[in-house]
Structure 1
Amino acid sequence: MYIQAMDKGPAPVAAHCKVVVEVVDVNDNVPEIVLSSLSSPVREDARADTVVALISVTDRDSGPNKQVTLEIQPGLPFKIKSFRNYYTLVTSAFLDRETTAAYNVTLSATDAGNPPLSSQKTIQVDVADVNDNPPRFEQTSYTVYVMENNAPGASLCTVKAQDADVNENARITYTVLNDNNHGIPVTSYVSIKADTGVAYALRSFDYESLREFHFQVKAQDGGIPPLSRVATVYIYIMDQNDHAPEIVSPPANGTRLTETVQKNAEPGTLITKVVAYDADAGQNAWVIYLLDQASDLDLFKVHEHTGDIRTTRRVLEDNSTSFSLTVLVRDHGEPPLSSTVTINVAVMEVPLKVTPDPKRIIRPHSSLLFSNVTLYLIVALSATTFVFLVTVVVLAIVRCHAYCTQPGSCSPCCVSQKAQAEGGSGGGGGGGGGGSQPNNNVVLRRDLKVEPHYIEVRGNGSLTKTYCYKTCLTATSGSDTFMFYNTGRPISGTWGSERFFTGGSGFVRRLSMPDAALQVCRKYISVKMS
């Protein structure tokens, strides 16, 4: 400002000056929080640092009084990022709508004045649901007991599942999984209401044919993608007394069974046994046997657990010769069911006792222990064996005789003949022998077929082929003449004494023969001749 000072003289004189007044700021203004934008709701699966809101803060003071800081309360999954006087609210972690559906975030702006002034602003951040929770059954399995012969369409049980999500993500639909049970689709047994989870029976169950089965229920929500869980329901059929006892023995074929008992039979004599079977189970299958009707109730009794029918006393002379018994078989069901069977009992006369002859009794150590039949069998077996042996011997003799008499066979007349030119006609190989030398020439009959008519002797005295020979000598023959047959089998060895072999063509070849083998043959012939 400008100030003028003037005196009061006739010619006043004025003076001027400039006055500057400086106003010192006092921290008398609170910071102002301005919400520029807000993104709500925020998906619960949003990543960290997702921007939720844009915020600006202003303070009308100056200097240090204008410097402002912005904060939020701790413990929230959010944080503040600043740039000068502009701030952003971002997420610091994943959100969970099932834990907290909405967050109230309080913003606090504080200046640097003395004393500092502050202001607050609260914003609500909603969390959007994501289908991240499958349905959960109240029980993992359900056990249901159903009485047989139930009405079709009757309610069996109710399965219940919960989903922690909301809206469509929490809408649950129940279905029965299509599976086979005992070879029959389970969907033919039960059905379930999709929105309530109430299971219904589609047929009347029979305990005797189906005692238990199970099926699986799937609960699926309406989210995208849908999530589901499965629970198992076990159904146990309870027995109902719907079967009367069935009598197995005696068989119920429309005719009455007749049993016999002797007169004067001892008390407690077993007449017969009634056996019954009940197709039910438990108490409904327990049966008892009762004597319902009888011609003489005092003469017979029935064991209530085993079904044995026995006499209670002796059959007297004045009693009837036949009785009719009706046995009742009853179970323990509610109400009890029963079956009956009728049995006729005929009284037989006591047979006369026959006294055995002591003479006909065979003592354990008597010589008559073996009967005549056994003796006859032994004699017959021995005679058969003897006849068989005689037959075998006769056939052997006839066979040998026929073999020796047929042409070309080995006979004494054909093998005992000596060579006509003994010692000199055998060729050069046997000329030096003399009359005292035994005839070791081997003669072949011309009517025998010997192939080939000669044999080849190698330079070392061995044969190129092997020959097997058979000797037939008579007891009176003094020569060692042999007959040889060619078999084609190879043989090796060293040959000693020389012998002559006359072929079918009359050509004589020198044949070497082992001395040891010749000695063996001579010994064998001498034994046979003796």
Structure 2
Amino acid sequence: METRRLCFPRQRQVLLLFLFGGVSLAANRFRHYSVTEETERGSFVVNLAKELGIGVEELATRRTRVVSDDNKQHLLLDSHTGNVLTNEKLDREKLCGSIEPCMLYFQILMDNPFQIYRAELKIRDINDHSPVFREKEMVLKILENTAEGATFRLERAQDSDRGLNGIQNYTIEPNSFFHITISDSDEGTIYPELVLDKALDWEKQPELNLTLTALDGGSPPRSGITTIRILVLDVNDNAPKFSQLIYETQAPENSPLGSLVVKVSAEDADSGVNAEVTYSFFDADEDIQTIFQINPFSGEIILKALLDYELVKSHKINVQAIDGGGLSARCMVLVQVLDTNDNPPELIISSLSNYIDENSPETVLAVFRAKDRDSGENGKTVCYIQDNLPFRLKPSVENFYILMTEEALDRESRAEYNITITVTDLGTPRLKTEHSIIILVSDVNDNAPAFTQVSYTLLVRENNQPAMHIGSVSATDRDSGTNAQITYSLLTNQDQHLPLASLVSINANNGQLFALRALDFEALQAFEFHVGATDQGSPALSSQALVRVVVLDDNDNSPFVLYPMQNASAPCTELVPRAAEQGYLVTKVVAVDGDSGQNAWLSYQLLKATEPGLFGVWAHNGEVRTSRLLSERDAARHRLVVLVKDNGEPPLSASVTLHVLLVDGFSQPYLPLPEVAPERAQGDSLTVYLVIALASVSSLFLFSVLVFVAVRVCRRRRAASLEVCSVPEGHFPGHLVDVSGTGTLSQSYQYKVCLTGDSSGTSEFKFLKPIYPNIHSNGPDFQQHFCLYCDVLLKFIIPNKFSFLSVIMQYNN
């Protein structure tokens, strides 16, 4: 019985039953169940729900499992009924060999909370094997002088069944020389002994053949037979004698094939053939004959196969020595197998989850068990993972470990982890096993889109084509999949005066911005709005950025002449006394440009003149001055064409025509006569001049009254918001932002002419300032032009130290 236990430890390994959840040991006592061997697959063992006192639904909810120690699933759990069933035909002889009773140990594990129930399943034997003798024929050599009553032990039959189904009796066919008796061995088995009833006579009968039958206790019983061949020998009165009855030795399990285990020795006092001793195994199991081999002449026992401490820790060998006369002796050899660290640790994964959501709290990823088939220090294990990972190993019961997260993970920092679990034993040399687990971090929409810039400045030249691409905004999202898909949109503008929907549009997929219509720098120089970027996650996250569109100026406005006005019904004539000195200010051409920057830089030049060299124009301020002293020979009337040109590319220009009248003095102005009759004009009488003067004075008086009334009315209209030469402080639209400088004049503004008068009798313009946002050619704006014209008359023409008559003559002309 003990020999069988040493030879078949693998069949005795414990089967585990797993159920995952919390970590607590439910009970230390065993639950006992039984099943008959060779029953069909799916045979009922126990109803686990009734046994544990819980519902079938709870078994499924708590992930109840049955797992064996060596990953052989002998039992399975029906989650619908709660029945534990056999997963295969159970062969008691394969599972336990000679061990009786045959017990399969297992565990029931339950999750949430984690519980373990230890149990054992007894495999009941059936009589499915017949007794078998190792040899079909036994040969016994018996001396003829053997005394009656002598016993001869016979090799027993082998029966894989145990208990009552094992061998229970031996019988021999009836004869006059021998009978069979049954004896018990130290291991608790029975063996047959042949008892001599009558002395043998070699001369009468040198050989006998008997049939030996072995019977088991099954119902019906099974049997096996062998033949006993008895050779009657001549007298040999000395049997071999071993030097030791028991030989004890040790052999490391990694001993090479052919190595010597032990040498037995026996001597015989006889001589000749009767003293020649041969050695052999006696009553040896098949495992002994497979692993060991004995030299029949030297008694050396050598290895035929490798030893394995994890399978059999010791071997018991019976050795027989027979001399040439047929006498024999027996001894026992005990071989103790020494363990070496030849088995690396094993890692058995019971539960594994390769995916985990980021931002998850502490989560169990895997449950596994570490084991080592070696013993002592060779079988102790240490388990660890790499450092600097947000995971930890938590030891549990029965050498179980739980791999779990230490903190919430961030997919954007790291989306995949390769965790290497290393199990090392404490043997010499140390052996280790590594197992890699890939953990993928699933994305959660925890990152809002981020624009590449906080604000964007887009430059667009005015007069652009409608639907022109003016720029792009771009945002990125650190998430993945649909959580990183971004949609762009224009956000509602808080400025109600800015028609954003008619100005720009955005491509929702790529953030490209388009101008919907042509922009005009003079009407809108810059505007701002916000764009939003929203991902497709749930819930969706968004961000926004400021976009500023700056309209660049084109030179699309020609200079506009404010003074002298060119649309008057009568041309403006400037009066210059002939006594004027060189550099005398005749007048000042005032012009503006609706553009900005260098497109509004104006320059003045004299394009045409009745008498070149008499007058000059300052290029930067448009002042028309005399270039030299006047003389009597200079013509009285002069026509000047002044060209006003901006600095754009290409440059635009405008021209203005000035009429200059040279007079000797305001009291006696020189009045030119018609060109068709100059001599006749000089001969007119004084009476005609007086009549003309009276009429002119009367007309000028009436005209002056009208102008005075008109100017008072205009100034009262502007009294609420204007002062002389001051800029109105009205609110400009908030969306108009000047980033590149304004021009000399925007077409949307009206200008007020401010002049100075000093004691020298010269007048000049000081500056121009915007008054109203719009100027048109008709309606109320015409009144503004008229007021402006009246201001010029009162502030520029009248303060000049000309005679009242000169003014009259100018307007009559």
TM-score (norm 1): 0.61
Structure 2: runs of 5 or more not aligned: 1-315, 669-813
The secondary structure found in structure 1 opposite 2:370 is: strand
Distance in 1 of aligned mates of 2:597 and 2:374? 95
The secondary structure found in structure 2 opposite 1:230 is: strand
Equivalent residue in structure 2 for 1:300, among 594, 600, 615: 615
Distance in 1 of aligned mates of 2:459 and 2:524? 13
Distance in 1 of aligned mates of 2:379 and 2:325? 55
Match of 1:52 in 2: 365
Distance 1:246 1:182, change over 3 A: farther
The secondary structure found in structure 2 opposite 1:188 is: helix
Match of 1:80 in 2: 393
Equivalent residue in structure 1 for 2:603, among 283, 288, 299: 288
Deviation larger for 120-129 or 178-187: 178-187
Equivalent residue in structure 2 for 1:261, among 572, 576, 591: 576
2:441 counterpart of 1:130:
no
Distance in 1 of aligned mates of 2:442 and 2:610? 91
Distance in 1 of aligned mates of 2:618 and 2:337? 127
Give how far 1:120 is off. Answer: 1.4
Distance 1:212 1:17, change over 3 A: same
Distance in 2 of aligned mates of 1:316 and 1:7? 171
Match of 1:498 in 2: none
Distance in 2 of aligned mates of 1:185 and 1:338? 34
The answer (yes or no) to whether the contact 1:44–1:130 under 8 Å persists in 2 is: yes
Equivalent residue in structure 2 for 1:155, among 451, 469, 477: 469
The answer (yes or no) to whether the contact 2:420–2:436 under 8 Å persists in 1 is: yes
Distance in 1 of aligned mates of 2:547 and 2:666? 70
2:535 counterpart of 1:209:
no
The secondary structure found in structure 2 opposite 1:284 is: helix
2:464 counterpart of 1:167:
no
Distance 1:73 1:32, change over 3 A: same
Give how far 1:9 is off. Answer: 11
Distance 1:16 1:312, change over 3 A: closer
Give how far 1:201 is off. Answer: 0.9
Distance in 2 of aligned mates of 1:347 and 1:117? 122
The answer (yes or no) to whether the contact 2:616–2:626 under 8 Å persists in 1 is: yes
Give how far 1:117 is off. Answer: 2.5
Equivalent residue in structure 2 for 1:185, among 470, 482, 499: 499
Match of 1:455 in 2: none
1:31 maps to amino acid: P
Give how far 1:337 is off. Answer: 1.2
Match of 2:659 in 1: 344
1:62 maps to amino acid: S
2:374 counterpart of 1:71:
no
Distance in 2 of aligned mates of 1:284 and 1:244? 9
The answer (yes or no) to whether the contact 2:354–2:437 under 8 Å persists in 1 is: no
Give how far 1:90 is off. Answer: 0.9
Distance in 2 of aligned mates of 1:10 and 1:319? 177
Equivalent residue in structure 1 for 2:510, among 174, 189, 196: 196
Q: Which deviations, in whole Å up to 9, do the C-alpha atoms of 1:419-477 show, x marking residues without a partner?
A: xxxxxxxxxxxxxxxxxxxxxxxxxxxxxxxxxxxxxxxxxxxxxxxxxxxxxxxxxxx
The answer (yes or no) to whether the contact 2:449–2:541 under 8 Å persists in 1 is: yes
Match of 1:249 in 2: 563
The answer (yes or no) to whether the contact 2:606–2:616 under 8 Å persists in 1 is: yes
Distance 1:349 1:185, change over 3 A: closer
Distance 1:63 1:257, change over 3 A: same
Distance 1:41 1:313, change over 3 A: same
2:382 counterpart of 1:61:
no
Distance in 2 of aligned mates of 1:4 and 1:15? 8
Distance in 2 of aligned mates of 1:29 and 1:235? 75
1:36 maps to amino acid: S
Give how far 1:310 is off. Answer: 2.3
Match of 1:34 in 2: 348
Distance 1:309 1:193, change over 3 A: same
Give how far 1:183 is off. Answer: 1.0
The answer (yes or no) to whether the contact 1:25–1:61 under 8 Å persists in 2 is: yes
Distance in 1 of aligned mates of 2:427 and 2:386? 22
2:453 counterpart of 1:113:
no
Distance in 1 of aligned mates of 2:657 and 2:666? 28
Give how far 1:238 is off. Answer: 1.5
Give how far 1:8 is off. Answer: 7.0
Distance in 1 of aligned mates of 2:665 and 2:320? 176
The secondary structure found in structure 2 opposite 1:168 is: helix
Distance in 1 of aligned mates of 2:535 and 2:523? 37
Give how far 1:273 is off. Answer: 1.8
Distance in 1 of aligned mates of 2:320 and 2:662? 170
1:243 maps to amino acid: N
Distance in 2 of aligned mates of 1:37 and 1:110? 21
2:596 maps to amino acid: A
The answer (yes or no) to whether the contact 2:322–2:329 under 8 Å persists in 1 is: no
1:326 maps to amino acid: V
Distance in 2 of aligned mates of 1:308 and 1:5? 146
Q: Which deviations, in whole Å up to 9, do the C-alpha atoms of 1:79-126 show, x marking residues without a partner?
A: 112221222211112212122211111111223334433211111111
Structure 1: runs of 5 or more not aligned: 354-530
TM-score (norm 2): 0.41
Give how far 1:36 is off. Answer: 2.2
Instruction: Give the length in aligned residue pairs.
Output: 351
Give how far 1:195 is off. Answer: 1.5
Give how far 1:186 is off. Answer: 2.1
The secondary structure found in structure 2 opposite 1:65 is: helix
The secondary structure found in structure 2 opposite 1:84 is: helix
The secondary structure found in structure 2 opposite 1:33 is: strand
The answer (yes or no) to whether the contact 2:319–2:333 under 8 Å persists in 1 is: no
2:537 maps to amino acid: G
Distance in 2 of aligned mates of 1:258 and 1:282? 33
Distance 1:313 1:34, change over 3 A: same
Distance in 2 of aligned mates of 1:251 and 1:180? 43
Match of 1:230 in 2: 544
Match of 1:89 in 2: 403
Distance in 1 of aligned mates of 2:436 and 2:317? 50
Give how far 1:223 is off. Answer: 1.4
Distance 1:57 1:264, change over 3 A: closer
Match of 1:442 in 2: none
The answer (yes or no) to whether the contact 1:152–1:201 under 8 Å persists in 2 is: yes
The answer (yes or no) to whether the contact 1:181–1:214 under 8 Å persists in 2 is: no
Distance in 1 of aligned mates of 2:455 and 2:604? 44
Give how far 1:312 is off. Answer: 2.6
The answer (yes or no) to whether the contact 1:178–1:187 under 8 Å persists in 2 is: no
Distance 1:66 1:277, change over 3 A: same
Distance in 2 of aligned mates of 1:31 and 1:10? 55
2:532 maps to amino acid: K
Give how far 1:3 is off. Answer: 4.6
The secondary structure found in structure 1 opposite 2:337 is: coil
Give how far 1:293 is off. Answer: 1.5
Distance in 1 of aligned mates of 2:492 and 2:403? 52
Give how far 1:56 is off. Answer: 2.1
Give how far 1:29 is off. Answer: 1.4
Instruction: Indicate the percent of aligned positions where both proteins have the same amino acid.
Output: 43
Give how far 1:23 is off. Answer: 2.8
The secondary structure found in structure 2 opposite 1:261 is: strand
Distance in 1 of aligned mates of 2:448 and 2:389? 27
